Structure 1
Amino acid sequence: MPSPPVFIVGVGMTPFQSPKKSAANSSNPEGDYFNLAISACVKALLDAGINYDDVDQGVGSYVFGDSTGAQRVFYSLGMTGIPIYNVHDYCSAGSTGLFMANQFIQAGCADCVLVVGFDKMYPGALPQIYKDRENPLGRILTMSKKFIPEGQAKSAGWTPQLYANAQAEYLERYGSAGAKPEHFAAIASINRTHGMKNPYSQLRQAVGPEEVSSSPQVSGSITRLQCCPSSTGAAAAVLVSERFLQAHPFLKQSAVSIKGQSLATDSLELYEPASAIELIGSNMTRRAVKNAFSQAALTIKDIQVIELHDCFTTNEMCAIEDLGLASHGEGWKLVADRRITYDETSETKRTSPGWIINPSGGLISKGHPLGATGLAQTAELVWHLRGWAENRSVPGTKYCLQHNMGLGGATVVTILGRADSEVAPLLSEIRDQVDGRQRLGYNPAMEAREVDAGDFEAVKSRKSFSNWAADTFEALISPRDYRL
C-alpha cells in the first residue's frame, strides 16, 4: 500500500560561515547560533506563507549544543505546546529530522512539521567533546588504526584519518585500472567552482586540481582543500500533508513531493569484512538508496541533480559508486570525464550521460555545520525543482536525489520531485508567479538576505508568543514586555 504523500512547501537557510567569522560578526556570541536557527525558520515559514500557529510538531537537529536546543529555537517563535524533538545523528542530523517529519505526517500524527538544523562548530578538525566517557565511535576508531600505513605522520584529527584510510584503500584496489590521487583533487576543484554561484557558500573562490593537490597534507594523501571546512549556520524546511496542501492551494505550484526516502544504519559490513571504505559507511548508502528508489519507483537514470555528502573527497568518490552512478571502481571515470558537472561550453547544460553533483558547491564549498547540512541540501534541490536556481539550473530537471551521511551511523537518501510531476520550469516562465519569492521579497536561491522585524512579525505565533522566550532574537522584537 503506497504511503500518503508528503510535501515540502517552505525552505530557508542562512549563509554558512567559518566559526571564527561568525563569532566576530555576532553581537551576542553566546546566542548567535540560536539566532541563525530562528532566521532559517522565519525564512521557511515565509516561503510557505504560514505562521508558527500552523505548525503541529517541531524537530530541531544539531550536534554541538546542550539538550533541548530545539525548544529554545521554537519557543522564540511561539510557545504553543506542540511536541518538539531534538535530533543528534552527527552529520546526518538534519536529514534524520527531515525523515522524522516525513514519518510523522505519513502516520497521520501531524499535518505540518517545521524542521530546523543548526550548529556552531569549533574551528579546525572535529573534536571529541567529552573526554570522561567512551566515544560512541570508539569501535570504528579502534578498527581504523589497523589501516594506517606504518610510519605515516600523525593525522590532524580522527575524521581525516578515517577518510585517508578509505582513499588509500580505493587507490590500492583500483589504481591499476586508472584511479589516481588527482581524481580526488578534481572533485574538490569541481565543487569549489560550483560554490562560486551559491550565495550561501562559505568558500566561494575557485581552486584548480593542482592547487588542491599541493595544499598542506592533513592525513595520508588527503590535503586541506579536500576537506570540508568547519562551519556555523542553519537551514529549515516545512513539510505538510496532502490535506494541508489542499487547504492551502496557493502552495501547490511550488510544492515539492518526497517521492521516496530511507534512513539506514550500519550493518555487519561495518566491521566484517574489515575494510576502510566500509568504516566510512558505504553500506548504509547502498541500502538507503535501494530502499528510496523502490519507494519512488524510479532509478538513478531518472535523476538529474544530486546533492551528496562530500565531507571529504573520498566520500564523494565512494558515494558516486554506492548510489549507483557508476560501478564500483569506476567512479573516478565520471570525474575524469567531467560527467558530474556542467558542460564546459554551456554552464546551463549538463553533460550527457551524467549528472550535476553538488550544484551548491557541496560541503567542501558550502560548508558543513553538521545539524544544518541535510536541510541545506534539501533547500538547494527544492530551489532547482521550482526553477529558482537560475545561475546553476539544469534544464529538464524532474527528479533530484539528496544523500546525507553520518558516521556512527545513519545515512538518509531522499528522492524529490515536483508535486505536479512536471519538469522544473525556467525562471523566465514563472517570473510573475506569486510564491515564496513575493513573500520573502527576493529569490532566495539567488540572493542571501537577513530577516527583518517585518519578517519575524509575519510568522510568529498570534496566539502564544512570549517576548521573554524570544529574547535571543531581541533585535526584531518591539516593544519589549517582560511579564515574569
Structure 2
Amino acid sequence: MNRAANRVFVIGVGMTKFEKPGRREDFDYPDMAKEAVTKAIKDANVSYKDFEQAFVGYVYGDSTCGQRALYPLGMTGIPIVNVNNNCSTGSSALYLASRQIAGGLSDCVLALGFEKMQRGSLSSQFSDRTNPMDKHIETMSEKYDFGSGPAAAQLFGNAARDYIKKYNVSPDVFAKIAWKNHKHSVNNPYSQFRDEYTLEEIKNSPMVHEPLTKLQCCPTSDGSGAAVLVSENFLRKHPETQKNAVEILAIEMATDFSSTFDTNDCMRVVGYDMSKQAAQKAYAKAGIKPSDVQVVELHDCFSANELITYEALGLCEEGKAGEFIERGDNTYGGKCVVNPSGGLISKGHPLGATGLAQCAELCWQLRNQADKRQVKGARIALQHNLGLGGACVVAIYRLANLNKARVDSKL
C-alpha cells in the first residue's frame, strides 16, 4: 500500500503472573482479563470508555469469550473481535489493533490475550475434521519417524536435529539457551518458574524428544496480558498519557511459504522462513538493522526455536548461532539480551497471552522499569511470536518521541 500510515503508540501494558493450569481456583479467564486490563488502563492513564474497539486473543475457549471477559469492565457497545492464531494469538491481536490505528480507523484500541489451559502437552481438540497441522506433520514424517512424544516437541526437536547435522554443532548449545532463560527468570515476578539450574541439571532432566530435555521446553500456563494502543492524535490531545508511551515502529506478520513443505527441512517446517520474512519487512519499515536492537523477546517454546530464530532475525549469520551463544552475545553484556523475562521456557506460555506479555516486557525495558532484569541502554526492542500452522509476528519498538518523525511513513 502507498497511503501514509498513522503512527501507533503503546501507552499502557498489564499482565498477570503466569501460573500452572488450575493452580489458582479464582483464576478463570474473566478474572485474568480483568486483572491485566485494569493494570493496563491504570498504566495508560485512560478509562475503559476511551476504547473504540478491542481485539481479544485466546485459543482454548468457546466463541465470544472476549466479550464475556470484557463486559464486566464496561458494556459500552464497542466492537470486540476474537482472535485465534495458535501460539501467535496474542501478537495477532496486537497486530490487528495496530493496523486499526495505523489505518486511521480508531484512536484508542485495546489488545487483550488470555488463556485457561488444560494440564499437560498441547493436543488437538477435534478428531472429526482435518488437523491444521497435518501438512507439517506429514512433511516432518517424510524425514523422521513420528514418535510417541508431543507433536510440537517432535517438530522442534527434529528442527534441532537438522541444525546439528547441517552445521555440526553440539547439542549442548540448545541446553545453554535454556540455562540462560532460566537464569533470567529469577528476576521476573510474573514468571511461572523462577528457579535457576546448572547446565548439567538441564541436560540431565527427562528427555522429551532428543535433543530437547524437559527443562528446554515451555510449560502450559494460565494467564493474561493487555496493551492500550493509541494514535499520535490521541497522544497529543491527552498529554497525561505521554509519559510512558512507546512507539511501534513496525509490526509485520507472515505465514508459511511453499518452502515449509517442499524443502525437506524441518527448520522451515517450524517457521524459519516466515520468521525471516516478517523480520526483514519489519526492519525495512522501521529503518533499522538487526545490530540496532538491544533487547529481544523471542518465541522460545523450545530451546531449538530460539537458536534457529537468532539466524532468521539476523542477530547472527546463518550457521553461526552456536558461536553467538558461546560468546554470550544473547545475554547481559553481549550484543543483545534475548528473553530477559525468562522467555516461554521459564515464564510460561498461555497461548493467547504470550504476545501481549512480550509487548509488556519490552515496554518496561524501554521505559527503564524492568528492575533487576533491566537491559542497560535499551533503545530499540524487538518482539518475535510464532504460531505453527502458521503465523509469525515481528514488532519493533522504541520509546516515544513526538518531535521525531518515523523513518518510514508507509503502511
Corresponding residue SS for 2:243 = helix
Matches within 5 A, 1:39-54: 39-54=35-50
Find the aligned partners of 2:302 and 2:290 in 1 and give their Cα distance.
23
Matches within 5 A, 1:251-262: 251-262=241-252
Corresponding residue SS for 1:374 = helix
- Aligned residue type for 2:73: L
- Aligned residue type for 1:406: G
| Residue 364 (structure 1) aligned to one of 345, 348, 373 | 345
Find the aligned partners of 2:100 and 2:231 in 1 and give their Cα distance.
10
Corresponding residue SS for 1:135 = coil
| Residue 160 (structure 2) aligned to one of 150, 163, 167 | 167
Deviations 1:194-218 (A, max 9, x none): 0000000001000122111111111
Corresponding residue SS for 1:230 = coil
| Residue 319 (structure 1) aligned to one of 278, 295, 309 | 309
Alignment match, 2:191: 201
Residue 229 (structure 2) pairs with residue 227 (structure 1): no
Alignment match, 2:355: 374
Query: Structure 1, unaligned stretches of length 5 or more?
Result: 343-349, 423-484
Find the aligned partners of 2:55 and 2:402 in 1 and give their Cα distance.
28
Find the aligned partners of 2:130 and 2:257 in 1 and give their Cα distance.
21
Corresponding residue SS for 1:403 = strand
- How many aligned residue pairs are there? 401
Corresponding residue SS for 1:202 = coil
Query: CA contact under 8 A between 2:203 and 2:213: conserved in structure 1?
Result: yes
Find the aligned partners of 1:252 and 1:49 in 2 and give their Cα distance.
9
- When structure 1 is superposed on structure 2, of 216-225 and 288-297 the one drifting more is 216-225
Matches within 5 A, 1:34-113: 34-113=30-109
Find the aligned partners of 1:212 and 1:50 in 2 and give their Cα distance.
44
Residue 125 (structure 2) pairs with residue 129 (structure 1): yes
Alignment match, 1:453: none
Corresponding residue SS for 1:262 = strand
- Cα displacement (A) at 1:421: 7.8
- Aligned residue type for 2:300: D
Query: CA contact under 8 A between 1:16 and 1:200: conserved in structure 2?
Result: yes
Query: CA contact under 8 A between 1:253 and 1:420: conserved in structure 2?
Result: no
Alignment match, 2:397: 416
Deviations 1:45-88 (A, max 9, x none): 11111111100001110000011111111111111111110000
- Cα displacement (A) at 1:390: 2.2
- When structure 1 is superposed on structure 2, of 61-70 and 137-146 the one drifting more is 137-146
- Cα displacement (A) at 1:229: 0.5
Alignment match, 2:8: 6
Find the aligned partners of 2:135 and 2:9 in 1 and give their Cα distance.
38
Alignment match, 2:300: 310
Alignment match, 1:452: none
- Aligned residue type for 1:181: P
Query: Structure 2, unaligned stretches of length 5 or more?
Result: 404-411
Corresponding residue SS for 2:188 = coil
- Cα displacement (A) at 1:220: 2.4
Find the aligned partners of 2:202 and 2:101 in 1 and give their Cα distance.
44
Find the aligned partners of 1:320 and 1:421 in 2 and give their Cα distance.
32
Query: CA contact under 8 A between 2:20 and 2:192: conserved in structure 1?
Result: yes
**Which consecutive aligned stretches of 4+ in structure 1 deviate over 3 angstroms post-superposition?**
none
Identity %: 44
Query: CA contact under 8 A between 1:125 and 1:156: conserved in structure 2?
Result: no
Query: CA contact under 8 A between 1:44 and 1:236: conserved in structure 2?
Result: yes
Matches within 5 A, 1:160-309: 160-175=153-168, 179-309=169-299
Find the aligned partners of 2:212 and 2:365 in 1 and give their Cα distance.
31
Find the aligned partners of 1:304 and 1:55 in 2 and give their Cα distance.
32
Corresponding residue SS for 2:251 = strand
What TM-score results when the alignment is normalised by the length of structure 2? 0.95
Deviations 1:402-447 (A, max 9, x none): 000001111000000011289xxxxxxxxxxxxxxxxxxxxxxxxx
Find the aligned partners of 1:319 and 1:143 in 2 and give their Cα distance.
20
Deviations 1:326-380 (A, max 9, x none): 11111111111111112xxxxxxx22xx110000000001000000000000000
Find the aligned partners of 2:22 and 2:38 in 1 and give their Cα distance.
25
- Cα displacement (A) at 1:147: 2.5
- Cα displacement (A) at 1:102: 0.6
Alignment match, 1:400: 381
Query: CA contact under 8 A between 1:147 and 1:165: conserved in structure 2?
Result: no
Corresponding residue SS for 2:76 = coil
Q: 1:215 to 1:417 in 2, by over 3 A?
A: same
Q: CA RMSD in A?
A: 1.3
Corresponding residue SS for 2:11 = strand
| Residue 157 (structure 1) aligned to one of 150, 153, 158 | 150
